[in-house]
Amino acid sequence: MKNLFRFIRIVSIITVIGFSLSGCDVLSGTNDTDDKGGGGSNSTVTIRNNTSQNFLYGYRKPSSSTDWGSDIFSSGIPSGQSQTITLPSPLSTYNVYDFSFSSTSGTTSGNNFVKYGTTVTNGMTITFTNSDLNDGSNLPNITVQNRSGINFNSVYVKPSSTNEWNRNFGSLSNNSSMEVTIPIPPSNYTVFDIQLRTSDPTVPGTFTKTNVTITNGMTINFGLYCSELLLLVN
C-alpha cells in the first residue's frame, strides 16, 4: 500500500509539471557554431559614392543577418568615386544584401547611407545618393527582460525563417533588461526568434522564444526556469 501511495504521488507530480511547463519558455539544446554554408568563389560589387560625403567606413551583410560585422574598407570612397568590394559568401548562398556607408564609424549614427534588401548580381554597380541617408529610426527597438532566475552570457535574435544565429547582443543577468535594436527594417522581416544562452554547466540547453511578431517598443519577457520543477520528483 505504501508503494501504491508513492506511485500515485509521483504520477501527480509529473502531471503538475506537465501543466506547468506548458506555460514556460521553450528550453532546448543549441549549437553555437553558425553554418555559413556555401562553396565556390565569392562575387564582387562596385560601390559608387554619389553622395555629398566621403565614405570612410563601410559594412555589408546578408539581409537576414543581425550582424553588420567589421569595417570592410582599407581605404574609403571619396564623393564622386567608386570602389569594388568582395562579398563574404557565394551568391548561391546569399544574393540579397544590406549595405551601409558613412564618414563616421559604426552603423547607427545619423549620417549612414543605407540600402536594405539589395538583390546582388556579380559585378553590378550599386550607387548611393543623398536620398539613401538613413538615421536608423525605421529599425525596430525591443526590450528583452530576464526574470528566469539565471544569468545569461549571450542574447541572440534572428528572423524565424532563417537558421543562423548571427550576432551576440551581450550578456543579460537575472532581473535585468536589455534594449536591442534589430538592424533589419520591418519591410524585410517581422517575425523573429529570440534566444538566451548560458555557459553554466548546471543549466541544460537554452531559453528560446520562436515566431515572435516584432513591433517597435515591445517588451519580451523570459520567465521562471521551468525545469526546477523536476527536483520535486527526486
- Percent of the residues in the chain that have a pLDDT greater than 70, as a whole number: 77
pTM above 0.85, yes or no: no
User: Do residues 144 and 99 lie in contact, with contact meaning Cβ atoms separated by under 8 Å?
Assistant: no
What does the block give as the cell for 94?
546569399
Task: Give the residue with greater pLDDT, 29 vs 207.
Answer: 207
User: Which of 97, 122, 113, 116 shows the shortest CA–CA distance to 45?
Assistant: 122
Q: How many CB atoms lie within 10 A of CB 196?
A: 23
CA atoms within a 13 Å half-sphere pointing along the CA-CB vector of 180: 29
Domains of the chain, start order? 2-30+138-233 (2.60.40.2890), 44-134 (2.60.40)
Has residue 40 got a pLDDT over 50? no
pLDDT for the residue 27: 52
205 close to 27: Cβ distance less than 8 angstroms = yes
Range in 73-77, 159-163, 180-184, 201-205 with the lowest mean pLDDT: 201-205
Task: Determine the average pLDDT of the residues in 160-179.
Answer: 95
Nearest to 55 by CA among 97, 115, 95: 115
Contact (Cβ atoms closer than 8 angstroms) between residue 209 and residue 26: yes
Average pLDDT, stretch 186-211? 90
Q: pLDDT > 90: what percent of the chain?
A: 61
Q: Label residue 181 by pLDDT band (50, 70, 90).
A: very high
Q: What is the average per-residue pLDDT within 116-128?
A: 96
Residue 129 Cα distances to 65, 80, 110, 113, 189, angstroms:
24, 10, 15, 8, 25
* pLDDT one-digit tens code per residue, 68-104: 999 998 789 999 999 999 998 889 889 999 999 998 8
